[in-house]
């Protein structure tokens, strides 16, 4: 734990330390009451050099019909210090916050001033809240789906059958198309995977270096056919993988890769009539 004397709130390093302390505090607020799940933590009204910081915490669970504000809390609480810097926690239920948001209530304005999202649980958050706090967890145009190996493919004779098998499980891969033929029979795109970190879950481009540890690529190298089934029922056969340096793809993904290398997959649409009978 950093010592108070090391904390220079006016520098960028100082801000990082402050962020780390606030994240530690957010961690402590995640689990005290199992009836409430922390869905969003926002550091708002950020100003360097300020002794007191503000956190907004929104919880999923029974409605809380008001904002509850805590006494200011020392951020070095873990070290037993009662001195600065401090944080004041403003907590509310998601429902209540959303209601106020839809009413465009002016009392929410302070929460949107100079804010930074420290934690979010996307699955618990309403689209309006995600948008208002600029939480973008997936790139535009992302289609999500599943890998179907040759064995599974042969088991199901219809798209309905495949969807019935997969639709209830979490999507395991994503695709941002980079090109599609005019007849929609062929396309290619950047492979994505869902990655969690301490702040939330994000759909990010698949690392080319990690590709060989994946089932689709392994099957492909072994000469076995593989398929992608996307939400909604689009079914494609994998034609080939390509790892390419493509700085222009930075605009298509949420987080540009440092080396500009992306995993691109080439696909051909598969129609139910092409599937063998079980």
**Binding status of residue 136 toward other proteins by CB under 8 A:** no
Distances (CA, A) of 121 to 20, 28, 214: 19, 16, 26
Cβ proximity to other proteins, 136 vs 215, nearer residue: 215
Of residues 76-105, which lie at the interface with other proteins (CB under 8 A)?
78
Cβ proximity to other proteins, 96 vs 157, nearer residue: 157
Query: Do 190 and 205 touch, CB atoms closer than 8 A?
Result: yes
Cis preceding linkage at 180, omega within 30: no
Query: Do 237 and 160 touch, CB atoms closer than 8 A?
Result: no
Cβ proximity to other proteins, 15 vs 52, nearer residue: 15
Query: Do 264 and 188 touch, CB atoms closer than 8 A?
Result: yes
Evaluated on CA atoms 131, 133, 136, 140, the torsion sign reads positive
Cβ proximity to other proteins, 18 vs 129, nearer residue: 18
Of residues 163-222, which lie at the interface with other proteins (CB under 8 A)?
165-166, 168-170, 172, 193-199, 201, 206-210, 213-215, 218-219, 222
Of residues 211-270, which lie at the interface with other proteins (CB under 8 A)?
213-215, 218-219, 222, 224, 258
> What does the block give as tokens for 16?
């990082």
Rounded-to-integer distance, Cα 121 and Cα 65, Å: 21
Cβ proximity to other proteins, 90 vs 201, nearer residue: 201
Query: Residues in the site for other proteins, rule: CB under 8 A?
Result: 1-2, 13, 15-21, 24, 78, 149-152, 165-166, 168-170, 172, 193-199, 201, 206-210, 213-215, 218-219, 222, 224, 258
């Amino acid at each position: 734990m950093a010592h108070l004397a090391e904390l220079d709130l006016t520098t960028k390093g100082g801000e990082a330390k402050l962020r780390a302390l606030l994240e530690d505090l957010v961690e402590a607020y995640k689990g005290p009451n199992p009836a409430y799940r922390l869905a969003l933590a926002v550091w708002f009204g950020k100003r360097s050099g300020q002794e007191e910081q503000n956190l907004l915490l929104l919880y999923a669970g029974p409605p809380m019909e008001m904002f509850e504000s805590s006494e200011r809390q020392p951020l070095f609480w873990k070290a037993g210090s009662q001195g600065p810097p401090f944080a004041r926690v403003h907590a509310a239920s998601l429902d209540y916050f959303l209601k106020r948001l839809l009413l465009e209530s002016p009392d929410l304005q302070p929460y949107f001033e100079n804010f930074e999202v420290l934690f979010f649980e996307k699955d618990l958050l309403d689209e309006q809240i995600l948008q208002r706090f600029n939480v973008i967890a997936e790139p535009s145009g992302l289609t999500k789906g599943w890998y179907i190996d040759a064995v599974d493919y042969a088991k199901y004779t219809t798209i309905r059958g495949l969807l019935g098998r997969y639709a209830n499980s979490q999507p395991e891969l994503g695709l941002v198309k980079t090109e599609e033929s005019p007849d929609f029979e062929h396309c290619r795109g950047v492979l994505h995977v869902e990655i969690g970190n301490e702040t939330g879950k994000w759909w990010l481009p698949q690392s080319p270096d990690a590709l060989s540890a994946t089932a689709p690529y392994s099957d492909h190298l072994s000469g076995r056919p593989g398929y992608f089934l996307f939400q909604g029922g689009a079914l494609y056969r994998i034609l080939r993988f390509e790892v390419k340096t493509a700085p222009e793809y930075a605009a298509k993904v949420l987080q540009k890769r440092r080396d500009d290398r992306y995993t691109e997959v080439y696909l051909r649409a598969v129609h139910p009539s092409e599937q063998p009978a079980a």
